[in-house]
A = this chain, B = another copy of it.
Amino acid sequence: MPAALPDDGNNGPLALIAGGGAIPIAVAEAVQRSGRRVVLFPVRGWADPEAVEKYPHHWIAVVQAGKFAKHARAEGCRDVILLGAAVRPPFWSLRLDWMTLRLLPAVYRSYRGGDDHLLSGIARIFEQHGFRIVGAHEVAPGILIPAGKIGRFEPSPRDRSDIARGLGLLRAIGPFDVGQAAVVANNQVLMVEGIDGTDSMLARIAELRERGRIPTAQGVGVLVKAPKPGQDRRLDMPAIGPKTVEAAARAGLAGIAVVAGSTIIAEPAEVARAADAAGLFVHGIDERAE
């Protein structure tokens, strides 16, 4: 990777490597609104082609370090943010460019283990080449969910007990670098997020409910999301959006609880509207209070 430009404080253009979903675009919008130039590097197959059209952008393939670095340098970017859903491809299917080939041993070492491990390995490589990885909380703090309710509804005492159990479980599995989410209903853990992610977990709950395999009634149960303990907040911060609300509604849950200040919310107005329409609560957990 060619080296990045010298440090220019926090005001140079921001390189945003964009995976799938609404989050990268929501962050790009917030950064642009703050007056900072943003250049998208949408990842082919993951990012939405229509959504990136509104921004200066350069398409890249997964792990095309050389192509990214060349364009990021030409655009004057030193700060880099990685956002959005990433389907981790089988290692042998990666279309590596020449630059990445030289980085291969380091990438491969990062590939063995969980997502955190992979991401921190990739962040290290960027930093060795003079880029600086930043987090959404640094460049667009307004995109983090605040404490309290989004929309009209609030968790009941039973929901709060489910939230506490879910948070405890997520803390316990943190060291194993597994999912950031779980569904708890009436004090019972129904499901822990696997490699397929939150939406897929909710779809499975919906399917099990249809087959009469969920013991709790419709409208009982909470999707709880929390960052892993010790997780680098610049990387892989939990996120929700209107689609999460729709998936939770289809799963027949009472609501969604995420850690305030540590969770990205895409399209908050849409989230509130979808939650109110479905009768779900969306709750920002104040970790200091709960």
**How does the 8 Å CB contact mask read for A167-206 relative to B, with 1 for contact and 0 for none?**
0110011011111000000111111101110000100100
Contact of A113 among B112, B179, B187 (CB under 8 A): B187
Shortest Cβ gap from A215 to chain B (Å): 5
- Judging by beta carbons under 8 Å apart, are A189 and B196 in contact? no
Contacts of A113 in B (CB 8 A): 186-188
Query: Closest residue of chain B to A215, judged by CB?
Result: B88
**Size range of the interface on A?**
35 or more
Q: Bound complex: CA of A139 vs CA of B83, how far in Å?
A: 56
Tell me if A190 and B186 are in contact (CB < 8 A): no
Does A288 belong to the interface (CB within 8 Å)?
Answer: no
Instruction: State in angstroms the CA–CA spacing of A241 and B92 once bound together.
Output: 34
For A89, give its contact among B93, B175, B204, B212 (CB under 8 Å): B212
Q: From residue 155 to 177 of chain A, which have CB atoms closer than 8 A to chain B?
A: 165, 168-169, 172-173, 175-177
Q: Report which of B112, B186, B194 forms a contact with A204, defined as CB distance below 8 A.
A: B194
User: Shortest distance in angstroms between A230's beta carbon and chain B's nearest beta carbon?
Assistant: 15
The reply to whether the CB of A148 lies closer than 8 angstroms to some CB of chain B is no
Do A188 and B195 have beta carbons less than 8 Å apart? yes
Instruction: Confirm or deny: A114 has a beta carbon within 8 angstroms of a beta carbon on chain B.
Output: yes
Residues of B contacting A115 with CB < 8 Å? 188
Could you tell me the distance between the alpha carbons of A89 and B129 in the complex, rounded to whole angstroms? 57
Other than the given A90-B217, A177-B189, A190-B195, 19 more pairs (CB < 8 A) read A87-B213, A90-B215, A92-B217, A113-B186, A113-B187, A113-B188, A114-B187, A115-B188, A169-B176, A169-B178, A172-B173, A172-B175, A173-B192, A178-B192, A188-B195, A189-B194, A191-B195, A194-B201, A194-B204
